[in-house]
Amino acid sequence: DAKTTQPPSMDCAEGRAANLPCNHSTISGNEYVYWYRQIHSQGPQYIIHGLKNNETNEMASLIITEDRKSSTLILPHATLRDTAVYYCIVRVLSGSARQLTFGSGTQLTVLP
Amino acid sequence: EAGVTQSPTHLIKTRGQQATLRCSPISGHTSVYWYQQALGLGLQFLLWYDEGEERNRGNFPPRFSGRQFPNYSSELNVNALELEDSALYLCASSLEKGSTEAFFGQGTRLTVV
């Protein structure tokens, strides 16, 4: 899987939008962008994924640039419970390397 | 619908012993993935099973092994335990055909003393 680059940490004020960037400049055409988060010592939680188009669900929005070399996860109204490590992962959905490969992620701290 | 369940939640073993960790996937999921997360470190991919077969393996020594049963549940075995094996072991499951997201269990905390 292509490697991703994320800032190690970010802060966000409660109620404001949290914008988490991710660079994946070597992404291949068949690789999807996935976002997971891990709240302290719990199992990672799926957030959202996309290939080319922007995606939105009840948790977040995913904005992928037209050249697909970077993306941004947006939590529209961050709460204290959104404090977690956020992982950006690129992944193929076929072949023998379909496992999620986690990097070091971004520690998001939502401040009251 | 029940999520991914792992047992035990905590396990304490002595160096040199063997540990067996268990994972029950979400009903209908055929793929099981195992990860190791040592304290303060990221998630390292260990093993992937689908339809009873090992499909891929991470960069871990052979004393880390496992299997998947006909009901798609899975075991992770760690032989000749070392102190550095102390970690949170996470299991995830997914549908294999057209799989999208993987769902994780809450993990087994293994402590080797």
Q: How far apart are CA B46 and CA B89, in angstroms?
A: 9
Q: Is the pLDDT of residue A98 over 90?
A: no
**Which residues in A lie closer than 8 A to residue B45 (C-beta atoms)?**
99-102
A46/chain B closest Cα distance in angstroms? 7
Does pLDDT of A50 surpass 60? yes
Chain B positions touching A99 (Cβ under 8 A) are: 33, 45, 48, 56, 58
B87 touches chain A (CB under 8 A): no
Residue B8 preceded by cis peptide, ω within 30: yes
Q: Which amino acid is at A69?
A: K
Cβ B45–A101 below 8 Å, yes or no? yes
Using a CB-CB distance cutoff of 8 angstroms, which residues of chain B are in contact with residue A103? 42
The DSSP output letter for A5 is B
For residue B108, is pLDDT > 80?
yes
Q: Is the pLDDT of residue A4 over 80?
A: yes
Single out the residue of A72, A85, A67, A75 nearest to residue A22, CA to CA.
A72
Tens digits of residue pLDDT in B43-101: 999 999 998 999 999 999 999 999 999 999 999 999 999 999 999 999 999 886 555 68
What distance in Å separates residue B63's CA from the closest CA in chain A?
21
Q: What is the mean pLDDT of residues A78-107?
A: 88
- Which residues on chain B are in Cβ contact (under 8 Å) with A41? 88, 107
Residue range A18-42, pLDDT digits in tens? 999 999 999 988 899 999 999 987 8
Token code pair at residue A36 = 């997971």
Contact A43 B106 (CB under 8 A): yes
More confident of the two residues A17 and B97: A17
Least confident of A1-5, A48-52, B55-59, B88-92: A1-5
Band the pLDDT of A1: cuts 50, 70, 90: low
Q: What is the pLDDT of residue B99?
A: 58
Q: What is the pLDDT of residue A68?
A: 95
Tell whether the torsion through CA atoms of A50, A72, A63 and A1 is positive or negative.
Answer: negative
Which pLDDT score is estimated for B1?
62
